[in-house]
């Protein structure tokens, strides 16, 4: 069977800096991959190679058997959608117009785009922002609108770049609950994440593949209930990690920097 998303020996080199180092990763249909790693490990670069935003120096990325760099733009958008870490909002369009614009890949009327945009905004609980200008929204509100954009695009595979960044705790949980919902609908998801504890809000956390990335290579792969996970995460970030059993879940928390 062909993989939903496959990175084959992907190397990205900018001048002498190695961002990705012959990385190979196979993501099957319906899987949830949590990419974790220190800043500069190459996580965002990896997502960008899958989007054909950053062509690899060598190696290739395939989505359901075809190379992403050769896909027609609209076909690629049907396969892969993306929620970037930073959302630029220079144009004072309304939330609704912004989300409707993300329906670009569909050949449909503007009215149909608006309908789909309304549904997507309602789904992520951002209906209140549909008439407001995106430039006036707060960071968290804008993130919601961008999430609605991704939902409206209706791609098979979804790439998230720290979707809970800068959000308050309630919003963080809500975003991960939504991620879990999309996942259970059969979407394949690759999500950059800095806090494995949030993954338990997905719903079926034991099935999540946690992939540790360091210096452009895969350092380890584990599941959330893996007993060795705290130690591996500690090694990845250069900290000492503790594992605390809470009432409902186990928490993995750093408590000191590693001695080096």
Partner 1 sequence: MKARALLAVVTCLGLLLAAVLVGQRLSGPEGAFIVWQLRVPRVLVGALVGATLALVGAVFQALFQNALATSDTVGTTAGATVGALAALAFDGSRSVQGLPLVTTCAFVGALAASLLVASFASSRRAHSSDVLLAGIAVTLATSAFASGIQYVSDSRALFAATQWALGQLPQVGYRGVLLLLPVCAVSSISLLLLTRHLQAFALGEELAHSRGVNVPRLRFLALGLGSLGVAACVAWCGPIAFVGLIVPHLVRLLLGPSYRVVLPMSLLVGAAFLVGCDLFARLVVPGRELPVGIVTAALGAPALVLLVARSRR
Closest CA to 73 of 140, 178, 169, 153: 153
Read off the tokens for 245. 């059993």
The DSSP bridge partners found for residue 133 are 94
Q: Whole-angstrom Cα distance, residue 190 to residue 20?
A: 17
With binding defined as CB under 8 A, does residue 93 bind partner 1?
A: yes
Give the helix/strand (H/E) hosting 146.
helix 139-153
With binding defined as CB under 8 A, does residue 102 bind partner 1?
A: yes
Residue 212 three-state SS: strand
Burial 84-99 (b: 16+ CB within 10 A, else e): beebebeeebbbbbbb
Nearer to partner 1, 163 or 212 (CB): 163
Site for partner 1 in 133-192 (CB under 8 A): 133-134, 146, 149, 153
CB of 55 to partner 1, least distance (A): 8
CB of 73 to partner 1, least distance (A): 4
Residue 125 three-state SS: coil
Nearer to partner 1, 20 or 68 (CB): 68
Read off the tokens for 123. 């789904």
Site for partner 1 in 32-91 (CB under 8 A): 51-53, 55, 72-78, 80-82, 84, 87-91
CB of 69 to partner 1, least distance (A): 10
With binding defined as CB under 8 A, does residue 104 bind partner 1?
A: yes
The DSSP bridge partners found for residue 13 are 18
For partner 1, the binding residue among 31, 45, 49, 98 (CB under 8 A) is: 98
Interacting residue ranges for partner 1, rule: CB under 8 A: 51-53, 55, 72-78, 80-82, 84, 87-94, 97-98, 100-102, 104-105, 110, 133-134, 146, 149, 153
């Amino acid at each position: 069977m062909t993989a939903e998303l496959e990175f084959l020996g992907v190397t990205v080199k900018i001048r002498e800096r190695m961002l990705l180092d012959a990385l190979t990763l196979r993501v099957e249909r319906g899987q949830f991959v949590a990419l974790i790693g220190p800043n500069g490990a190459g996580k965002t670069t990896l997502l960008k190679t899958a989007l054909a935003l950053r062509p690899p120096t060598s190696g290739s990325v395939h989505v359901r058997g075809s190379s992403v760099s050769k896909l027609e733009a609209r076909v690629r958008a049907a396969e892969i959608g993306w929620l970037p870490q930073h959302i630029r909002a220079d144009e004072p369009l309304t939330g609704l117009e912004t989300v409707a614009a993300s329906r670009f890949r569909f050949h449909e009327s503007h009215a149909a785009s608006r309908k789909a945009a309304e549904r997507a905004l309602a789904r992520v609980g951002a209906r209140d922002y549909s008439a407001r200008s995106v430039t006036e929204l707060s960071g968290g509100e804008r993130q919601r609108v961008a999430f609605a954009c991704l939902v409206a695009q209706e791609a098979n595979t979804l790439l998230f770049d720290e979707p809970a960044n800068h959000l308050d705790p309630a919003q963080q949980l809500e975003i991960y609950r939504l991620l879990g919902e999309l996942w259970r609908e059969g979407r394949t998801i690759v999500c950059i994440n800095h806090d494995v504890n949030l993954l338990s809000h997905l719903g079926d956390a034991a099935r999540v593949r946690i992939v540790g990335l360091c210096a452009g290579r895969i350092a380890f792969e584990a599941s959330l209930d893996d007993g060795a996970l705290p130690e591996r995460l500690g090694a990845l970030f250069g900290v000492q990690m503790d594992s605390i059993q809470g009432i409902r879940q186990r928490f993995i928390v750093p408590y000191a920097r590693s001695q080096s």
